[in-house]
Amino acid sequence: MKYDVIIIGGGQSGLASAYFLRRSKLKYVILDSEKTCGGSWQHAWDSLTLFSPSEYSSLPGWLMPKSDNMFPARNEVIDYLCRYEERYKFPVERPVEVKEVKKVGGSFQIIATEKTYVSRSVISATGTWNKPNIPNILGKELFKGKQFHSANYKIPAVFQDQKVLIVGEGNSGAQILAEVSKVAKTVWSTLKAPEFLSDDVDGRVLFDVASDKYYAEQKGEKFNASQYNLGNIVMVPSVKEARARGVLTSKGHFTRIYKDGVIWEDGTKEAFDSIIWCTGFGYSTAYLSTIVSEDEKGKIRTNGTRAVEVDGLWLVGYGGWTGYASATLIGVGRSAKHTVKEVEEYLKN
């Protein structure tokens, strides 16, 4: 069977794309490597919450149900994604991991673990979670303790009574530090001094700023977003509480790793039991490398969401790269809608 569109990835970005596709007459399917619904939210740490209230965290068409919490918990997000998928009866095949995409003639061959699918176009919506980034620090392989990435951090109890180094000045670093510091002795290492948003700024404000930036650029106007740096740390309740305990201070950065720990810039050594790298992600697009050139992060050349080097390929949900705020629940709808319009146009010709 030949599809018109295959969406690779069944997280929020894949579902938002499917929402607009289901109104078309196009034959499409979603291929997702997870065993069940919920995308990468299934792998996030247990205490993770959204940084916006539910009414600011909805996919197109159906509002996220109200939560008892100001910021919905990870399980509520998973539940919402599962119910969203069920509500619209999207055709999703799981678990199907796409290994490689080829283009033969005018069609794509999507080579998955057990089967090859054929489609006239592809929407890649595989997020970032499968491509954790750990910087290349000298001596990393010598460390005898345990190393984790925020992508596989679940609960603080694992670190009970240890001495733990938490690396990274983003939201993940601050949130994981906040809870691990309750059960372990922690040190925070950052490349630059961590910057915090004011207490009254949450995802709502950040989304509004991202939208203003988007509309200004659509009109060819300059936009000064310096008032809020979208990458600064959001003061969610756990981070505020950590600030009150005085643990939100960075020791700066280290230059190398040795067998027991790290060597700080001034040459002093410090031993640790574990290191948690909260150093972000690349893009989970390795399966496209046969048909497009990727940089080391997995980024390819695009115009909006459309691949420049290959006709018939789009990428949705990768944040600033393929659409302002498109890595958020509320932001991905705009990007998905626009993409599906382009796909429909493309398939007409």
Q: Which residues contact 151 (CB under 8 A, 6 or more apart)?
A: 43, 129, 132, 281
Binding segment toward ligand FAD, per CB under 6 A, in 38-46, 135-143, 152-160, 303-311: 38-46
Total residues binding ligand FAD (CB under 6 A): 35
E strand spans, 46-105 = 92-93, 98-104
Q: Which of 59, 174, 307, 327 binds ligand FAD (CB under 6 A)?
A: 327
CB-wise, 150 or 189, nearer to ligand FAD?
A: 150
Dmax over CA atoms of the chain, in Å, equals 65
Range in contact with ligand FAD (rule: CB under 6 A) among 122-130, 193-201, 208-216, 241-249: 122-130
CB of 79 to ligand FAD, least distance (A): 14
x/- mask, ligand FAD, residues 266-305, rule CB under 6 A, reads ------------------x--x------------------
Q: Work out the burial of residue 100: count CB atoms within 10 Å of its CB; fewer than 13 is exposed, 13-18 middle, 19 or more buried.
A: middle
Closest CA to 250 of 181, 337, 320: 181
DSSP 160-213: TT-EEEEE-SSHHHHHHHHHHTTTSEEEEE-SS---B--TT--HHHHHHHHHHH
Structure tokens at 3: 């599809």
The one-letter code for the residue type at 193 is: A
10 binds ligand FAD (CB under 6 A): yes
Is residue 64 within the footprint of ligand FAD (CB under 6 A)?
no
Which member of 13, 17, 67, 232 binds ligand FAD (CB under 6 A)? Answer: 13
Q: How far is the CB of 190 from ligand FAD (least distance, A)?
A: 16
* 333 in contact with ligand FAD (CB under 6 A): no
What residue type is assigned to position 46 of the chain?
Answer: D
The residue ranges that bind ligand FAD (CB under 6 A) are 8-14, 31-34, 39-41, 48, 50-52, 57, 97-98, 125-127, 129-130, 171-172, 203, 284, 287, 317, 327-329
